[in-house]
Amino acid sequence: MPLSTTLANSSARGFGAFLVKPIITFTVDYLVVAGGASGGTGKTDGGRNSAGGGGAGGLRSTVTATGGGGSVESALSLSTQNNYTVTVGAGGAARTSSSLKGNNGTDSVFSTITSTGGGAGGGDDISSPQPPNTGGSGGGSRDDTGAAGTANQGFAGGAGSTGSSGGGGGGAGQAGVGTGNARAGGNGVATSITGSSVTYAGGGGGTGVNGAGSGGSGGGGAGGANASATAGTINSGSGGGGSYGGNSGAGGSGVVILRYPDTRTISFGSGVTGTESAASGGYKRATITAATAGTVSWS
């Protein structure tokens, strides 16, 4: 038998086994925030001026706090040599015509965890009512009860009053405001998954002739009274403000942040935009700001 064949067979039987990498299991904490919704629009005539703020995207977290007033979730047990799906939800597009509800945000996903896109803010149209939508957090109403949020992800939008005040969009940490003249978006939730406290997923402010509401903490967009509203902050999952006499605010895109042992290194698949931090306190963190059904893996 030729020497080369003998060496190859020996390698196959013994030496090659030492080249097989073991599969290692480890724990991953996550923050998964969906895209926020855009606010609705009202009219500038006929007393139909109110519009609701967009609801924030659903927020699910294993660190510090999670959305909707729920208990923090359990970390995932993952392993090397496997691919895990990741999607970062887009924010709902702004409305540029009057008398329309906003657009929902889209879901964010990591592995088995899905956060629901924010619910559109209501628009004001006497001939064709435009009620708000449910979502991770619900949209604010233009003249009725705000839309519901999703359990353990976000809160409901605020109520509106025809013409005078649109309700604020719900936030991950608080319902949208449904009383008073300038109805603010609900506040978001702070988490320290990155190593410092950052707030995400605030609701968008409502609007009406009595004034425009501010956005909720965490990046919610302010409403616009006879002016265009403000968009939710990108990669915060926040809702955009409602408007009459201008464009509504777009919803902010979501984000996925992962925390894992500093002995592991993440790889981002095609179409995934992310960064990995240096080791700190026994962890590394990966912040993923854009992905559509992409994958990540660890070594």
Has residue 272 been placed in a domain? Answer: yes
Has residue 268 been placed in a domain? Answer: yes
Q: What does the pLDDT look like over 85-134, one tens digit per residue?
A: 999 999 999 999 999 999 999 999 999 999 999 999 999 877 777 999 99
Place of tokens 């955009």: 240
91: exposed, middle or buried (C-beta count within 10 Å: 0-12, 13-18, 19+)? buried
- In this prediction the pTM is 0.93
Has residue 115 been placed in a domain? Answer: yes
User: From the CB of residue 6, how many other CB atoms can be counted at a distance below 10 Å?
Assistant: 10
Lookup: tokens for 99? 């008398």
Handedness of CA 246, 217, 53, 45 (dihedral sign): negative
Has residue 127 been placed in a domain? Answer: yes
The C-alpha atoms of residue 178 and residue 20 are separated, in whole angstroms, by 61
Has residue 219 been placed in a domain? Answer: yes
Has residue 18 been placed in a domain? Answer: no
Q: What does the pLDDT look like over 146-182, one tens digit per residue?
A: 999 999 999 999 999 987 999 999 999 999 999 999 9
The C-alpha atoms of residue 32 and residue 84 are separated, in whole angstroms, by 14
| The total number of structural domains that make up the chain | 1
Q: What does the pLDDT look like over 206-247, one tens digit per residue?
A: 999 999 999 999 999 999 999 999 999 999 999 999 999 999
Q: Which residues contact 80 (CB under 8 A, 6 or more apart)?
A: 21, 23, 24, 26, 264, 297, 298, 299
pLDDT greater than 80 at residue 135 = yes
The C-alpha atoms of residue 274 and residue 19 are separated, in whole angstroms, by 30
Tell which residue, 213, 194, 193, has the closest CA to residue 203: 213
Tell which residue, 33, 51, 112, 123, has the closest CA to residue 78: 112
pLDDT greater than 80 at residue 48 = no
**DSSP letter (8 states) at residue 5:** H
